[in-house]
Every structure is written in structure tokens, then in C-alpha cells.
Amino acid sequence: MSSLVVNVNNVPILMFYENYIKNKYIVNRRYQRKLVWSTSSKRKFIDSLVNGFPIPLILCVENKDAQYEILDGMQRLNAIASFLEGDYDFEGFYFDLDQNPSLKQKKDEGILIQKQPILDKDKCLSILKYPIPVSISTHVSELDIIDESFRRINTGGVSLSKQEVRQAGALCHFSQLVRECSYFVRGDTSHSSILRLNDMKHISLTKEKDSEYGINLSDCFLAKHNIITYQNMMASRDEELVGQILLAMITDGESETTSYYLDSVYSDIEKKSEILNKINRYGYDKIKKDFEKVYEEIIRISNNIPNETKLMTWFYKDRPNHSTRAFTVFFLALYDLIILQNRSIQNYRAVVNKIQNIASKTYDHLINSRKKWDKSDRNHLVRSTVGIISDEFIENIGIDASNHSGIKKLENILNQSRTESVSYDFKIGFYTMHDGEDQALNISDKINTLLAMCNANKGVNWLIIGVADKEKDNVRHNTFYKSDSKLYNGFYITGIEDEAKKFCKDLGAYEQKIKQLISKEPISDFAKLNILQNIQFIQYYDRHVLMLSLSRDTEPYTYNDKLYTRQSSHNYELKDPKEIMSFYKLFEVV
């Protein structure tokens, strides 16, 4: 195993911020937790800077692109950057943006707003001069070194939770499955596992109002419905729950319920191999889709509970107890009916009625008993639950059980776009919104945009129709069609049914017309086929959204024999021969 070459330096906060806005600091979600510091914790840290107290060493690894991957200190660095940019105050005062050229420029450009009152100039300058102790390791030839370093850093003291340590650096299929399913549940998905420190706030959780963090726990289903407390969500206990559910699915109910068993899946070579074989048997993608399908059905069931009652409140006659166990049983019962038996719910309200007080009536003697909860208890209660609700399910004839609605899928894509905006574009619809105009339909610009995004960015790129990312566009849509939209995390789900009804009579005719127009677009057959094969119509509550996607190819896509790429929010045509030749070279290794 290679060793790290370590250099320890004092980096003034002024220099740190310059590197920060140049996207020099990155975070690997494979082992790093979310931003979890509360505003009060950040203020205490700023107090240490103002008073010149020493702070712990920041640990980073420099990669081949001269970026610094943060091993330890992400919370501290975020606290500094967010204070400088005015996300929170210190003793009632906000940092003076005029004391730093980069901050002043952002203020002058309207990116940042100077909040009042302003912190004393001398205190601002002392913060900018404060030397952050930073250890930068270089010449890393083996990934295991980073993983082991991270684990040792977080052994003992106030560090990661047990589940976070399990997941930290784990590269097995199971750990990745837990990670991706947990992202789906929380909604903190990202386009890549490597994020800029600047973007971590968009996928981090908070329970504070007006926090700069992107996802409020009050919107997270598990916390909202009293399945997991806010505190345990912050400590990643939701991932532990997801892991236990996935193991029960993968092992056909043979997995143990203990923490020791979960540990062994991450650490014991034989157990890891056994679980990998079972994942390969079912298929990684199918397991993930099955999990998502069942989870979305639970959301739909919960949405049908009267008076917006929380799921666990509905489950228990009295105060909920061992809610994660009750949720696990209910999830696996639905998995049995929906996936294993390939059945679907015919009446959501009837299911809701049958599960009222189900935990108190059916689960209590096993869940709340003094004996330890084990797999036989879990499996017995799963069978009991299936028996209670099975009459409200009908057999699917010719329907793939893995097909599922897209409530969470759409929400996760919207969340991802916060950190990878260049790979996403949002449009209200294909038709212009002007009375008297002859059904003006513009699909060409939108297809060109999708191809231009692929030319500019690796991976899958998305064009979402039926979503407004600006309030003024939402107002324009609602005024023209005299309808309302659904608000989610700053996005307005306007849907496409209004323009479908106005210009094409219904969604079926609308879909047929859009597909016909795409097939006539002046693009390659390869691009055309892939767009049409992956077109998705997703129902989001009572709204429908059209999702077009395309992945980057081994050479650039052309539109009408012209070459475009994406710059900011605009399509840019490459015309100069030298520019075109240089652009093609970027595709030699994709």
C-alpha cells in the first residue's frame, strides 16, 4: 500500500474563500456525511475565529486536477463560507461584504445581498486573516488509503454515527444500494457522488426555518410521519432502516434484525460475498426499482389518510412506539403483495381503513415485548399484515411490477438540478401562451437544447417539460390556463395537461403528436431513437410531466448539420473550424 505525502500549512480565510469560489474544495459522498451543523453551532465556531482560539486541523487530499477532497473539516469550512456570504449572523451582525473584493463583486452583481446590521470592520478583517490549519496529502495511488484515513479520523470522539461509519468508504454493491435508496427516500440525490463544497448545502438536511440547507426535514416522509425522529435522521438512522429493509428483500426474509448482522454485511468477507450473490441473482437495478415502487405506494396510501394524519399516528391507537419496526413490517407486506405477487391496490381508502390502529391491534405483542425483535417476529407480522390488507389488491395482468409512478423520481431530479444545473433544463410546455396565436408549437429549440447539453456534459442530460423554475413563468402559465401548479422546493409543477387539453384534446393525442414531431427532427437516427425510447410521462399528484433524456455519445451530436454546445443557459453554435476541431478532440475519451 502506498503512503500519503503530507504537507501542513496555515491558510488564511481570505485565501480559502478564493479557492472556495473557484470550486477547489470537493466532497465525496461515498464516505462524507451531509452538512449537519445547526446555526448555533456555526456561531460558536465563528466566535472561536473572532477571538483567535485555535481550531482543529482541516484534512484534505489533493487530486490530479489540483482540487482538495475534504476528509475532515467540511462542517467548519462550510460554516466559514456561509458566514462570509451572509447566510447567518454572529451576535446579531452580518459580515461586511465590502471587506473582500470577491464578496463585493458578488454584491455588486446582485448575487449576494448585504444584510444589516454590519459586523465591525476590524472583526471582519481579523476573520479574513485567521490562519486555518490545513493538512494537504498528495500522491495518492490507492483509494483504500483515503478510505482508511477517513475511518481512523472518525474513530472515537464526537464523530460519525455507527451507520455512517459502516457506509464510509464502503464500495460493495450493498452499500451502494443502501446509499442510492436512501437518497431516493430523503430526496438528497445528486448527479455525481463528487460534489463541490459550494453545492453540499443544496442536498443537506435541516430542521431550521430559513436555513441555507436545501432539504427541510419537515418535508422528509420518514420524519414527517414520525417513523424516524429528526435527530436520528441527522445521524443517518434512516439509512440503517433502509439497509434492514433491503436485506429482508434480498434474502427472502432470512436476514437477521440485529445490528451485529448489519455490521457483518459490511465487514465479514463471507457475508459480503453471500449478499453480493443474492443481489446479482435478482439484479441491482430491479431491487432498487422494487424498493422505489413500494416506497411510492406507501406515500400514496399516506396521502389518503383523513385529515392529513401522520402514518404512525394512524398505525397506533396511543403514542407510537418502535415506529421503525412497524414501518419495516408494513413495507415488507406491501413488497410481498406488489412485487412478489405482482398485484396492485384497487382502493387506497379501503387499505387506509384496514391499517388504522394496526400496530396497536396486531403488532404490539411482538414489537413492544421485552424479548429482542428477531426475524421470526418480523416475518410473522409481515404475513399477518398481508392477510389483513390483501383483499384490497388485484392481480396485474400483463403489467410489469417494476413500472412505478414518479413522484419521488421527479422530486429527486429537481433536487439534483440544484447541484448540476448544466445537465437539466426546465420548460413549461411546447406551445406558446398567447391568445389568438395559431397553436404555435416549438419543439426544435428544445430538442436542440437537449443535444447541446449532451455535447457540453458527460452522463445523462434531462429536458423536463411541465415544470417552471421561475415564479414569473409559473404566474404566466397559471394566468393563461387559469389553473394552479404544485410547489416543490422552489420549483412549480405546472404539468402538461393544460396545453394538451387546449391544443390536442387529451394527453394521448398530445403524446402521439410530440413523438411524431421528434421523429421528424433533423438529428441523427441514434439520437432520435434514444430520445424516443427513453421518453417518460410521469404523474406527479394530479399533474403530468414529460421527461426527455439523452446521454453523451462518443462524438458530438449535430442539429440540422450544425454543432451546438451549452454555455450558461444558452445554446452556442460552433462555427470556426479550429474551434470545431478542438471540440471534437474532447470526445476522443468519453
Reported as a pLDDT band with limits 50, 70 and 90, residue 216 is: confident
This model's pTM is above 0.75: no
Q: Rounded distance, CA 436 to CA 394, Å?
A: 48
Amino acid 375: pLDDT: 94
Please report the DSSP string for 533-544 in residue order.
Answer: HT-EEEEETTEE
* pLDDT tens-place string over residues 53-86: 999 999 998 888 889 999 889 999 999 999 999 9
User: In whole numbers, what is the pLDDT of the chain averaged over residues?
Assistant: 87
* pLDDT tens-place string over residues 556-567: 999 999 999 998
Amino acid 207: pLDDT: 78
* pLDDT tens-place string over residues 430-474: 988 876 555 567 899 999 999 999 998 888 899 999 999 999 999
* pLDDT tens-place string over residues 229-247: 988 888 889 999 999 999 9
In the block, residue with C-alpha cell 464526537:
158
Reported as a pLDDT band with limits 50, 70 and 90, residue 401 is: very low
| Residue of higher predicted confidence among 161 and 309 | 309
| Residue of higher predicted confidence among 345 and 372 | 345
Reported as a pLDDT band with limits 50, 70 and 90, residue 395 is: confident
Joined grid coordinates for residue 40: 448555533
Which residues, 6 or more positions from 55, have their beta carbon under 8 angstroms from its beta carbon?
45, 48, 49, 76, 132, 133
Q: C-alpha distances in angstroms, 50 versus 46, 88, 100, 128? A: 6, 15, 17, 10
Which range, of 284-293, 384-393, 438-447, averages the lowest pLDDT? Answer: 438-447
Q: What is the mean pLDDT of residues 134-161?
A: 57
Which helix (DSSP H) or strand (DSSP E) does residue 488 occupy? strand 486-488
Q: Rounded distance, CA 223 to CA 376, Å?
A: 27
* pLDDT tens-place string over residues 569-586: 789 999 998 998 889 888
Amino acid 219: pLDDT: 83
Q: What is the mean pLDDT of residues 219-234?
A: 90
- How much of the chain is in helix, strand and coil states, percent to nearest 5? 50, 15, 35
Q: What is the mean pLDDT of residues 160-171?
A: 62
Amino acid 545: pLDDT: 93
Q: Which domains are delineated in the chain?
A: 5-159 (no CATH), 215-395 (no CATH), 420-585 (3.30.950)
How many CA atoms lie within 13 Å of 343's alpha carbon, on the beta-carbon side? 18
